[in-house]
Homo-oligomer: A and B are copies of this chain.
């Protein structure tokens, strides 16, 4: 963030009102985004989910479906997001006993004019909300956290990876 011009918020136009920015002149390139997040919970809650899961697969299975479906509805939820014809969405959920809890990772992909960061982040968020919903009878203290973009490919800005310089 060096130059002053980079500091403009892109969704605010010259007069400062919010608008869906014009991406019509952007090139159609392959765009990929990866986002992650987690749900922290009591160790017993994690065990209950994994035990249920070992037998039936349902908590984790339902949450994955919810995350994938949510990615497709991103432009319905986020006011200034463009509607996009996603070519791929995947969601992975892994237990992490050190957390303790579940770690979520989503990938979104598109050949198009604009990035898919919001689709990946929305998939992660709704996956986490669904995990909370399905386990909240056990543990209302669960905390959803660390939702962030990890990596982004394609478009003018090229390859961006968390922790490397912009």
Contact = CB atoms under 8 A, between A and B. Distances in A.
Interface of A: 1, 6-13, 15-24, 30, 37, 42, 44, 48-49, 52, 55-59, 61-62, 64-66, 68-70, 72-73, 75-92, 109-113, 117-118, 121-122, 125-126, 128-130, 132-149, 152, 160, 162, 166
A63 to B, nearest CB: 9
How many copies of this chain? 6
A61 B59 contact: no
A101 to B, nearest CB: 13
Contact of A87 (B6, B72, B82, B139): B82
A66 B61 CA distance: 12
A77 B70 contact: yes
Nearest to A13: B90
A35 B76 CA distance: 22
A78 B10 contact: no
